[in-house]
């Protein structure tokens, strides 16, 4: 069925997200199998050496993790489902961001044993940011210690979601046989080699009371938000299956409840019923409100019309360099595009002819002639950046951009061999275009190329990809933490810049103060404010921006430890100028010198990134883990124990976390795992600040000598 023949109401654009190792890719593999996309099931760390279909990169197959989100489209009964399988590892958080930015609904996969883990919380926060309705799937119920009822309480407690079970398992752990569907009140069994045979029976007698109890809870939760069911609930009447399904759909789309499904993807139990849930309860493209910005009306927010006949608007959410050149993944929000059409990049106005349109299935593709609103497609030969909007030129709409977190770690890298320099720059250019969290810069003093990203693994993967994809081995320096500097006190400046050389001189006087801005907890401290309080034309209006620019330029590198200064408000209150000798440059130089002079008086302080760490290991190693965290200046935030396994949550400075994976392995006999993500910036202890300051002064002295 060609995409433009689809009935929009029968399309679902969904993502599968979760904590690392919750079984997302295994679940996607089962979905591909049951929808007839693949004819044999392969495991993530499969003995057959094939690896999961969606993990198409060699690196993904070796490490058994998903790095890039992969896209595919399947048909389930009469519904077309576009699926994006996203990574769970925090270093690849941008992949989850960009997937959720373009999706209409999502499945949050939770481990039946561990329940809500640190990355589940991050993913949930991202879903809330983009207002994505979701279902939850409690996976791995075949594992020892699995308990979906405990996971339900964790979702309510930790994620603050109004979750409700629409199924309960029949049997648990190695006795898992199927699920009780609480909507139809039928027992559903999955048998056959790959769980493809589905049998519906009456609910087993020993589960009847439990099923009634949870059915009552389901109807009660829906009744809280839905009038029709609410009335029936009060009158103690039973809603029909159709009425209940329609009501669950309404309240799920309104993000008032989260229906929870149960099963084990690995043991082929419950996946088909989850697919039914996707078609029954998640939105079609017209049911999800998406907004763009109208550039012709000062970026006023406008609602996207999900209409194939409306002016064409599409959003490039992911780039991939394949065998045949750059592949650009796009979500079409409105209008239709056909092979050979001309489209325009809203960022730079460039006109592009659409050479080839494809529908993706992991790393293979099928050519299509045209695609319309609601589709997720890919185009070849379109040169753009991730996050660009494309239109047909008749509308000035641009889609709102996605949230891009700040980098917390950087490395100096250089090609090992001189003759690979061209490949080295090509690789950096490519990675930068496809991943907004991967930054490349040049250290002006040492002339080094610096790469920055979300964590050690993030940068490691890119270095490995350079070697494999571009045949370019690199030498990497020591990882460098992205420190910041800030001030703790207000201080006044009064600086006059005078320079007399042959001809006209330079003259500018600036007077004012700098003061600290409170940085919000958990926010990235990029805050800078500039206030112009100059009255009576003491400084001409055209020179005020020069003072602002000079201050910002000087703040790019503080004089305490040589890192950017944040959290500063500059107020310019007075000054003086000369009719002949004053210029934009003179005021910019005066502002830079004024900041250098006043900064030491404002109690400068170094800030370091604090990471949220979650460690999971067998209970007997709890003492070792806590000891290690304390040694690394960590603050334990809480611990929990489930079925002989302990989870320790802590806040730890990133600078203390290098080499932690090796230490954790040796302290837990290789059984410990950890995840880490950026939490906030905090002041560095005094002794460490003095050490950093000393190192910075030594580096400066060495550079001046050299």
pLDDT value at residue 501: 67
Residue 564 contacts residue 555 (beta carbons within 8 Å) = yes
- Tell me: pLDDT of 63 over 50: no
DSSP state of 375: -
Question: Measured between alpha carbons, how far is 333 from 313 in angstroms, rounded to an integer?
Answer: 6
DSSP state of 141: T
Starting at the earlier edge strand, list the strands of the sheet with 491-499. Answer: 491-499, 506-516, 568-576, 528-532
Give 355-380 pLDDT, tens digit per residue: 888 887 655 678 888 888 888 888 88
The residue count for the chain: 706
Q: How many helices (H) and strands (E) does the chain have?
A: 16, 38
Please name the residue ranges forming H helices in 513-652. Answer: 544-555, 584-598, 622-631
- Tell me: pLDDT of 205 over 50: yes
State both tokens at 338.
């056909």
Give 496-523 pLDDT, tens digit per residue: 998 876 667 789 999 999 999 876 554 5
**pLDDT band at 69; cut points 50, 70, 90:** very low
Q: Which of 3-17, 102-116, 163-177 is predicted least confidently?
A: 3-17
Question: Measured between alpha carbons, how far is 685 from 695 in angstroms, rounded to an integer?
Answer: 16
Token match 């949050």: residue?
Answer: 108
**pLDDT band at 526; cut points 50, 70, 90:** low
Burial class from Cβ neighbours inside 10 Å (0-12, 13-18, 19+) for residue 439 reads middle
For the stretch 46-71, what's the b/e string if a residue is b when 16 or more beta carbons lie within 10 angstroms of its beta carbon?
Answer: eeeeebbbbbbbebbbebbbbbbbbb
Handedness of CA 332, 336, 340, 345 (dihedral sign): negative
Per-residue HEC secondary structure of 379-447 comes to: EECCCCCCCCEEECCCCCEEECCCCCCCCCEEEEEEECCHHHHHHHHHHHHHHHHHCCCCEEEECCCCC
Question: Measured between alpha carbons, how far is 591 from 579 in angstroms, rounded to an integer?
Answer: 19
- Residue 10 sits at φ, ψ, to 5 deg, of -105, 25
Starting at the earlier edge strand, list the strands of the sheet with 11-18. Answer: 70-76, 79-85, 11-18, 105-111, 134-139, 258-262, 163-165
Of all residues in the chain, the percent with pLDDT exceeding 90 is: 24
Residue 543 contacts residue 626 (beta carbons within 8 Å) = no
pLDDT value at residue 580: 82
CB count in 10 Å sphere of residue 398: 19
pLDDT value at residue 62: 46
State both tokens at 420.
């690979």
Residue 443 contacts residue 450 (beta carbons within 8 Å) = yes
Give 206-222 pLDDT, tens digit per residue: 989 999 999 989 998 99
For the stretch 663-673, what's the b/e string if a residue is b when 16 or more beta carbons lie within 10 angstroms of its beta carbon?
Answer: ebeebbeeebe
pLDDT value at residue 61: 41
- Tell me: pLDDT of 50 over 80: no
Give 291-342 pLDDT, tens digit per residue: 877 776 766 778 888 888 888 999 888 777 666 667 788 889 888 999 888 8
pLDDT value at residue 250: 92
Residue 300 contacts residue 279 (beta carbons within 8 Å) = no
What lies within 8 Å, CB to CB, of 643 at 6+ separation is 113, 144, 145
Give 236-261 pLDDT, tens digit per residue: 888 888 999 999 999 999 999 999 99
More confident residue, 557 or 659: 557
- Predicted TM-score (pTM) of the model is 0.68
Beta bridge partner(s), residue 326? 321
- Tell me: pLDDT of 440 over 80: yes
State both tokens at 401.
């951009």
Residue 568 contacts residue 517 (beta carbons within 8 Å) = yes
Per-residue CA distances from 473 to 416, 417, 466, 469, 639 (Å): 6, 7, 7, 10, 42
**pLDDT band at 3; cut points 50, 70, 90:** very low
- Tell me: pLDDT of 606 over 90: yes
Starting at the earlier edge strand, list the strands of the sheet with 186-191. Answer: 167-170, 178-181, 186-191, 197-201
- Tell me: pLDDT of 64 over 60: no
More confident residue, 499 or 546: 546
- Tell me: pLDDT of 59 over 50: no
More confident residue, 296 or 163: 163
- Tell me: pLDDT of 51 over 50: no
CB count in 10 Å sphere of residue 530: 17
Give me the mean pLDDT over the 619-644 stretch.
89
């Amino acid at each position: 069925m060609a995409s433009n023949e689809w009935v929009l109401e029968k399309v679902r654009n969904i993502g599968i997200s979760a904590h690392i190792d919750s079984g997302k890719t295994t679940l996607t593999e089962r979905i591909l199998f049951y929808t007839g996309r693949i004819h044999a099931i392969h495991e993530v760390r499969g003995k057959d050496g094939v690896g999961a279909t969606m993990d198409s990169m060699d690196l993904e197959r070796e490490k058994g993790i998903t790095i890039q989100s992969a896209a595919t489209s399947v048909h389930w009964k009469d519904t077309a489902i576009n699926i994006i399988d996203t990574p769970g590892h925090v270093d690849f958080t941008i992949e989850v961001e960009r997937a959720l930015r373009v999706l209409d609904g999502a499945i949050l996969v939770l481990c039946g044993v561990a329940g809500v883990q640190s990355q589940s919380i991050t993913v949930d926060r991202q879903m809330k940011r983009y207002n994505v309705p979701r279902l939850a799937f409690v996976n791995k119920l075949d594992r020892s210690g699995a308990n979906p009822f405990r996971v339900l309480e964790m979702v309510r407690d930790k994620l603050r979601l109004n979750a409700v079970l629409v199924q309960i398992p029949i049997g648990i752990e190695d006795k898992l046989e199927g699920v009780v569907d609480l909507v139809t009140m039928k027992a559903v069994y999955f048998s056959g080699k790959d769980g493809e045979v589905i049998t519906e029976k009456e609910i087993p007698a020993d589960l009847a009371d439990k099923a009634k109890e949870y059915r009552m809870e389901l109807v009660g939760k829906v009744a809280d938000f839905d009038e029709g069911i609410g009335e029936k609930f009060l009158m103690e009447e039973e809603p029909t299956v159709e009425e209940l399904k329609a009501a669950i759909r309404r309240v799920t789309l309104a993000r008032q409840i989260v229906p929870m499904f149960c099963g084990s993807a690995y043991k082929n139990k419950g996946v088909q019923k989850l697919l039914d849930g996707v078609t029954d309860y998640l939105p079609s493209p017209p049911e999800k409100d998406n907004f763009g910005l109208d550039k012709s009306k000062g970026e006023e927010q406008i609602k996207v019309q999900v209409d194939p006949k409306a002016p064409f608007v599409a959003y490039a959410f992911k780039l991939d360099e394949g065998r045949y050149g750059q592949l650009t993944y796009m979500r079409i929000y409105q209008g239709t595009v056909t092979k050979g059409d001309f489209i325009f990049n809203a960022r730079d106005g460039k006109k592009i002819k659409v050479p080839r349109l494809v529908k993706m299935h992991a790393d293979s593709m099928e050519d299509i002639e045209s695609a319309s609103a609601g589709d997720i497609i890919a185009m070849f030969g379109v040169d753009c950046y991730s996050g660009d909007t494309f239109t047909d030129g008749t509308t000035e709409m641009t889609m709102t951009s996605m949230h891009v977190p700040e980098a917390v770690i950087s490395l100096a890298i250089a090609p090992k061999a001189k003759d690979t320099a061209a490949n080295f720059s090509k690789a950096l250019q490519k990675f930068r275009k496809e991943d907004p969290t991967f930054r490349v810069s040049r250290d002006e003093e040492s002339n080094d190329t610096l790469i920055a990203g979300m964590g050690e693994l993030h940068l490691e993967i890119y270095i490995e990809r350079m070697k494999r994809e571009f045949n370019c081995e690199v030498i990497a320096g020591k990882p460098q933490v992205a420190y910041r500097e800030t001030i703790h006190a207000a201080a006044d400046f009064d600086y006059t810049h005078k320079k007399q050389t042959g001809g006209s001189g330079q003259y500018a006087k600036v007077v004012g103060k700098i003061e600290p801005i409170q940085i919000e907890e958990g926010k990235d401290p990029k805050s800078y404010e500039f206030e112009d309080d100059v009255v009576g034309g003491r400084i001409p209006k055209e020179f005020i921006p020069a003072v602002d620019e000079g201050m910002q330029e000087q703040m790019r590198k503080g004089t305490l430890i040589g890192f950017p200064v944040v959290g500063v408000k500059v107020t310019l209150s007075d000054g003086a100028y000369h009719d002949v000798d004053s210029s934009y440059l003179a005021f910019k130089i005066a502002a830079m010198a004024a900041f250098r002079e006043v900064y030491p008086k404002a109690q400068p302080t170094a800030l370091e990134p604090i990471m949220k760490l979650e460690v999971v290991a067998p209970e007997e190693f709890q003492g070792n883990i806590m000891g290690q965290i304390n040694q690394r200046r960590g603050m334990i935030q809480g611990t929990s124990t489930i079925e002989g396994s302990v989870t320790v949550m802590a806040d730890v400075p990133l600078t203390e976390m290098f080499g932690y994976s090796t230490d954790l392995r040796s302290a837990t006999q290789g059984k410990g795992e950890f995840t880490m993500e950026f939490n906030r910036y905090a002041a560095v202890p005094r002794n460490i600040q003095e050490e950093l300051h000393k190192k910075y002064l030594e580096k400066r002295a060495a550079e001046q000598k050299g």
